[in-house]
Structures are given as C-alpha cells and as structure tokens.
Amino acid sequence: MRYTAVVAKVLISMPDELLERVDREAKRRGSTRSGFIQQAAQRELGWPDPATLDAALERGRAALAGVGAFESAEHIRRERDARDTGDRRR
C-alpha cells in the first residue's frame, strides 16, 4: 500500500478471534495488518483497487486506439452547440 497523503493512525477494538483471522490472512497475502484492513475498508466502501483502475484505463485506451488525433475542445464545443440547437448531427 502506497501513501500519497498524510496518514492517520487509529486505535480500533475487535474481538481477539477476528484479529487473529486478520493477521493470518494478511500474512498469507504477504501484507501487513494495516494494509489488509485498509483494503477491506476500501472494498466495503466500493473503492476500486489499482488493478481495476488500470484495467479501465486500458479499455479506454483500446477504445480510442483507432480514433486518431482530435482537438477535444472542438469536439466538446460541437457537442454543446448541437445540443443547444437541437441538431444531433456531429
């Protein structure tokens, strides 16, 4: 787990049996207790993991691979103008 900002340290309470399971699973994954709990919290909150983000970016790159060069501001302007005038041709 890489930190990109200030990291807070917290004190939490959990049953001993749960902590033992967390520690065993973290060790099995080659992670730390903190890293494992962070990943679990991110999963619970719906945060995508880096692999999911990388896969989404790759799908986007693949989708745009054959498009060629274009000026995004011009494209956005045409879209906006078409919407304002009701003209759906681009």
Is pLDDT larger for residue 69 or for residue 4?
Answer: 69
Amino acid 79 reads E
Cβ atoms of 18 and 29 closer than 8 Å: no
**Two tokens at 17?**
């049996």
Q: Domain map of the chain by residue range?
A: 1-47, 49-90
pLDDT confidence tier of residue 89, bands split at 50, 70 and 90: low
CA 4 centroid distance within chain: 14
Residues, the chain: 90
Q: Distance of CA 47 to CAs 1, 27, 40, 51, Å?
A: 14, 23, 10, 12
pLDDT digits (tens, 9 = 90+) for 6-48: 889 999 999 999 999 999 999 999 999 999 999 999 889 988 8
Structure confidence at residue 55 (pLDDT): 93
- 3-state class (DSSP) for residue 82: helix
pLDDT confidence tier of residue 88, bands split at 50, 70 and 90: low
Q: What pTM, to 2 d.p., does this model score?
A: 0.51
Cβ atoms of 26 and 33 closer than 8 Å: yes
